[in-house]
Amino acid sequence: MVACQAEEGRGLPPKDCLRVLNPEKFPTEATEFVLTGPAGRLECLADVPEPGSERNATAVLCHPHPRNGGTMRNKVVTIMERALREMGLATVRFNFRGVGESEGEYDGGIGETEDLKAVVEWVLRVRPDTELWLGGFSFGAYVTVRAAQDLPVRQLITIAPPVERYGFRDCVPPNCPWLVVQGDEDDVISPNAVTDWINSLDQKPELVLMEGTGHFFHRRMMDLRGLIKNHVQSRLP
């Protein structure tokens, strides 16, 4: 079976192409493939940095709420992926269960955490010496925080974590550098709630409040890209 290769300009592969199931190696260019997850197949998209810029790290990124249209092609997730790839990281995005061509049904973050762990297991199998980075936006931020308790994460990035909607206070903070990005005009996630949650933690992440932007960072994507780069640059392997 031939892998789905992204077309010129890193566009999306044609929907009717054949996807590799459980690749034995990490792709060498932007590629769609399928992994066997705990609820069935998981639709994935991996990419690699430009030759000569590679770092020994792989970022696995999680999308926002499936029931609100969240997919691995969400613009915030895509700009996070771009920022990290431009700094030399290989990247993997995937659709949670029940999204796109991923099988299964929405599970409130519990099953989605297992989906993430399945993707990470594959990454660490095909790239056993890589550093693991995790990133998530909104609902995806919750999933990454849940999973980070049980994974060898070297850098965590959470954007607009929905702390009032999910059990963040029940999660053990990860033992790694952790960046939280929050828009100060977010009308979906309360910036004050995010600040209060962080202040309640013994092991606090680095919180960056982006001024003049809401939940989806409209017209501020390039600013978000630069912010991510600036704040994790010193953590690169």
At residue 19, the pLDDT reads 81
The 10s digit of each residue's pLDDT in 2-56 is 345 443 344 444 444 558 999 999 999 999 999 999 999 999 999 999 999 999 9
Cα–Cα dist 94/80, whole Å: 14
Cβ count near 148 (within 10 Å): 24
Rounded average pLDDT over 132-160: 97
Max CA pair span of the chain: 51
**pTM (2 d.p.):** 0.92
The 10s digit of each residue's pLDDT in 181-204 is 999 999 999 999 999 999 999 989
Band of residue 169 on the pLDDT scale cut at 50, 70, 90:
confident
Q: Tokens 């990419």 sit at which residue? A: 47
Q: Tokens 């399945």 sit at which residue? A: 118
Structure tokens at 146: 């849940």
Among residues 19, 47, 40, 38, the alpha carbon closest in space to that of 118 is found at: 38
Among residues 128, 116, 147, 121, the alpha carbon closest in space to that of 56 is found at: 128
Over the range 84-114, which residues count as b (16 or more CB within 10 Å of their CB) and which as e?
bbebbbbbbbbbbbbbeebbbeebebebbbb
Domains of the chain by range and CATH? 18-235 (3.40.50.1820)
Structure tokens at 206: 């680095």
At residue 10, the pLDDT reads 44
User: Is the separation of the CB atoms in 129 and 55 below 8 Å?
Assistant: no
